[in-house]
Chains A and B, each alone.
Chain A
């Protein structure tokens, strides 16, 4: 997109398009995830119908909900730190937008083609921790504080397995550029057969499993949702929020789920690409322009599949305890991913 536009569109229009593109890339996954999974799949799993009144099969329910939240009064606790309290949801949402920047949607459809893309993505995903900590602290509520502290501990603990899981991919691809990781997967071949390319899901399945578990924890989805833990901490760091600030938290939660799924799709499922051998492409330069339209759709589909996994686990599992979660991260996930790195490195050198 950027490359296409660079030649004939003025800078202000480019910027406008990028802002619009960013909004679409963040809000569309969020809306889809909420409607498809939170409203419908969850309802079907729980033997109920879910929203049915607003629009066909309740498809406009989301707009009704957003409208409802926007109408609500923006209140804050009397003894809260008002500035921090108000800025916290924005920090969390900002982290989502920062994340989506490096995701490649097509051969030319990207916001920025960053050489250390995955490194950057893992770094900015931690920004949301700051927002959550701020929210927990500024709410002047013990539940929020406990939730915020839990979130901080948890996100720090799961950052590490996530990074380690990605290292396997980086070793195999030989690059940290997400676009090049996509190309490496789709242009690759498995033992000389290139009908499917070489999605790293097959070679890095341990890394994929660790990455998805870490994503689940980063998103504070159910087996790891102690920061929110509605039966213990009421709603954790979100307890005191209402109205559009709660809405922002809500959007950020599901948009981040979507964006993380996109990153997982890019890392392990071949991202926006199709196996290049189908169309006789060999490198990024050969790819036809229509992939800039089809690519985002492919990526979107893969994202839906991965968010389905996340949500499936979320709706079926009970919750860990904080110490069990830490133990799981440090005693299971990190050793497993270290072994994975070692094996990957050895095989990389051997082949």
Chain B
């Protein structure tokens, strides 16, 4: 399978697109449409160079890097506890979930395990981040398809979740709450009851979105059969998360991985869909929010007592070694390959973010679709720019 046509065509298009002048002539061979980096559909600053024949895409190539912050380099000049403040900003909608795999990797290298209570609370906050993240996706999905109303419902209900995260961690977007050996603090008073009522609201929100969007014929005709990713291709490109499960791969790291988190303490399902199209991806995400609310509800019932932090030295030195830990983040598999040289800071951190792989399939996927479908497919793949560019 070739990704991109011949080099010559590519350089021609790149040169043409890099040319900032407006190109108005409609040549017979088509038109280059430059979507982004500033465009309502790009969730940030992704740029897609698409070669059009009428409304049909002949060739498309995403161009990332408008938000590259060099976190892999920056981690090398920081201590282990400080890295969480950086990785928070990778997927900025589900920040807490970014910290967890890094901290788990560091704990693995140190041979420390967080207390059961800390693991439990980590899992709850992790799932809350997922809910906050994916509920925004569900609203945004409507906007990408032209329905303006769902996004306001999404923002309304996401606010409840963000309030919970803020109550527990002190930060709405960037909690920076996870520590090697546990958590910074225990849960605040009243958190459990409040969370229960919010989970009820979120389930209502899911029903609302399902009625408003997923049952809509226009929505279905716009998403069903559009952007189909077969299972083999998905695996080859390293797609993960809901994108992979929507292609019929029954794989969820939360279930399949033995990891120091509390997912195995709850009864929940891994949602898959056989179709692999845009609708399947959106539908899987919707169901996952429901499952997440169930996980949170069950974990709230069984939070064990005890401290939230084990004894760790004040100045943390991580022993020499290499560790890979990945978790099922809202966007997909997020992992950190941490190399330590018995130092206060990591020697090298490879951040494997989900969106990077998820978006790398775009040139393959966008061939032959219509311009409006670019937007649907991108929305259904669900990327966050910080997660691509890191």
Contact = CB atoms under 8 A, between A and B. Distances in A.
A and B in direct contact, judged by CB atoms within 8 A: yes
B157 to A, nearest CB: 10
Nearest to B54: A149
A317 B218 contact: yes
A21 B55 CA distance: 43
B24 A145 contact: yes
A77 B34 CA distance: 17
Contacts of A194: none
Nearest to A138: B24
A72 interface: no
For the side of the interface on A, what is the size category?
20 to 34
Contacts of A321: 221-222, 370, 372-373
B10 interface: no
A48 B41 contact: no
B147 A222 contact: yes
A318 B146 contact: yes
A314 B142 CA distance: 13
Given A142-B22, A142-B31, A318 B375 contact: no
Given A142-B33, A146-B371, A324-B221, A231 B149 contact: no
A327 to B, nearest CB: 10
A47 B372 contact: no
Most A-side CB within 10 Å, residue of B24, B143, B374, B375: B24
B218 A319 contact: yes
Contacts of A322: 55, 370, 372
Given A142-B33, A231-B143, A320-B218, A45 B371 contact: no
Contacts of A141: 22
Interface in A217-231: 222-223, 225-226, 229-231
Interface string B214-255: 001011011000000000000000000000000000000000
A45 B149 contact: yes
A231 B40 contact: yes
Given A47-B152, A322-B55, A317 B370 contact: no
A232 interface: yes
A283 interface: no
Interface string A304-330: 000000000001111111111000000
Nearest to A314: B148
A141 B22 CA distance: 7
B213 interface: yes
A46 B149 contact: yes
Most B-side CB within 10 Å, residue of A233, A316, A319: A319
A294 interface: no
B36 to A, nearest CB: 10
A229 B148 CA distance: 11
Contacts of A233: 371
A336 interface: no
A140 interface: yes
A230 B41 CA distance: 8
Contacts of B142: 318
Interface string B29-40: 001011000011
B278 interface: no
Interface string B124-164: 00000000000000000011111111001100100000000
B212 interface: yes
A320 B32 CA distance: 23
A141 B147 CA distance: 25
Nearest to A230: B40
Given A319-B146, A320-B222, A46 B152 contact: yes
A79 B146 contact: no
A234 interface: yes
B302 interface: no
B147 A232 contact: no
Nearest to A228: B146
B218 A46 contact: no
B284 to A, nearest CB: 19
B23 interface: yes
Interface string A36-56: 000000100111100000000
Given A231-B146, A232-B41, A318-B142, 15 more contacts: A42-B148, A45-B149, A79-B21, A222-B146, A232-B371, A232-B374, A315-B148, A317-B146, A317-B147, A317-B216, A318-B146, A318-B216, A321-B370, A322-B372, A323-B55
16 contacts: A46-B148, A46-B152, A47-B153, A142-B23, A142-B24, A143-B33, A145-B24, A225-B146, A229-B146, A229-B372, A231-B40, A316-B149, A319-B147, A322-B372, A324-B221, A324-B222
Q: Which 7 A-B pairs have the closest CB atoms?
A: A319-B146, A46-B152, A318-B145, A318-B147, A231-B41, A321-B372, A231-B144
